[in-house]
Amino acid sequence: MTGTGADTVAGTVAAGKAGGEADLRVGLVGYGVAGAFFHAPLIAATPGLRLSSVVTRSPERAAEVGEKYGARAVGDAEELWESSDLVVVASPNRTHVPLTEAALRAGLPVVVDKPLAATAREARGLIELAGERGLMLTVFQNRRWDGDFLTIRRLLSSGELGAVNRLESRFERWRPTPKGGWREAGGADEVGGLLYDLGSHLVDQALLLLGPVTHVYAEADVRRPGVASDDDVFVALTHVSGARSHLWASALAPRLGPRFRVLGSRAGYLKNGLDVQEERLRAGLTPDSPGFGEEPQERWGTLGVDEADHPVRTEPGAYLDFYRGVVASLREGAPPPVDPEETVEALTVLEAARRSAAEGRVVAL
């Protein structure tokens, strides 16, 4: 590591190992939806971390971070380098690469909200830089810790599903009136739209469950007036194993499909509704409160064949495990909770999907 920031990290980590009392100071870039509803409360609830500084130019948000977390508000990311042991980048997508690069060059480990970059090439450059500097780099793929996804992994591990032939996965909403903001108003330069937003989760989950991909087909449309980025997306993946993934992301779905339908050689799993953690974070519940990730029984999915099915308890969602993994990586040298190399594979698929949608053809990888 080089630079004052790196020296600070090394000293703080060493102190934590020796005495266990020194929390890692976290500098958060961005306090919009991602920063306010996900990162800030998760950081605050994770033993070993302390939210110390937040980049925001909004007086209202500055007051909030002070009142809720005792953190100071700063106007520019560069003000974090000397006073942080870890930087979390939760700013608009187009800023992820330059901000992550700047933090790494300042000698600081980095958590980046998804997507890490717009292209696999850019992501690879950040990974190489982190490796050269000996710094942790990881990506906030929090949907790996959704209860329903953890349930599918359990069912695969136990053999109850058998070999998966088809995965159907959806993030659908009914938002006929645009909310505005860069995610909808920006074009490709903003890395906006649902393909790179919710699609980053859908593709990541499909790769984790079914492995590498050989062919990609996608449809990406702009359905709502006043929106510049794709708001209705479908992606079909053919995996090396022969399994297929059909993935949907839409802001214009008046009738929602199931969150998951997994068809295996022994049984199928059907699950409706979203993981409970996001709604609870938005409602102001703290992620370390008892039962935070537990789903009520009436929302459980079912497993079986035809009508011969039965309810299956949803695994507790565990977003906190991501930041616990960050602490373990920095304190103990454990692997980061999300290997950034895996995001290169996902970005390769997303780039192929964007090309497929633009050219109307199947793209071979």
Give the full edge-to-edge strand order of the sheet including 49-55: 72-74, 49-55, 24-29, 86-89, 110-113, 137-140
132 & 169 share domain: no
Count how many domains the chain has: 2
182 & 69 share domain: no
Q: Residue 340 domain-assigned? A: no
CA-CA distance, 319 to 303, in Å (whole number)?
A: 25
110 & 173 share domain: no
Q: Residue 358 domain-assigned? A: yes
Lowest mean pLDDT across 20-29, 130-139, 241-250, 317-326: 20-29
Q: Residue 341 domain-assigned? A: no
CATH code (residue 119): 3.40.50.720
Q: What are the structure tokens assigned to 213, written together? A: 């991909």
CA-CA distance, 80 to 26, in Å (whole number)?
A: 9
Q: Is the pLDDT of residue 190 over 90?
A: no
Q: Residue 339 domain-assigned? A: no
CATH code (residue 286): 3.30.360.10
164 & 280 share domain: yes
Write the CB contacts of 158 (distance below 8 Å, at least 6 apart in sequence).
none
pLDDT tens-digit readout, 294-326: 999 999 999 999 889 999 999 999 999 999 999
pLDDT tens-digit readout, 105-136: 999 999 999 999 999 999 999 999 999 999 99
CA-CA distance, 88 to 29, in Å (whole number)?
A: 6
69 & 158 share domain: no
pLDDT average, residue stretch 232-237: 98
Q: Which domain holds residue 61?
A: 3-141+322-334
Percent of the chain past pLDDT 70, that is, above it, reads 93
161 & 216 share domain: yes
Task: Between 206 and 22, name the one with better pLDDT.
Answer: 206
Bridge-based pairing state of the strands 232-239 and 213-221: antiparallel
136 & 153 share domain: no
Q: Residue 343 domain-assigned? A: no
Q: Residue 59 domain-assigned? A: yes
pLDDT score, position 17: 37
73 & 175 share domain: no
357 & 223 share domain: yes
Q: Cα 111 from chain centroid? A: 11
172 & 311 share domain: yes
39 & 119 share domain: yes
355 & 329 share domain: no
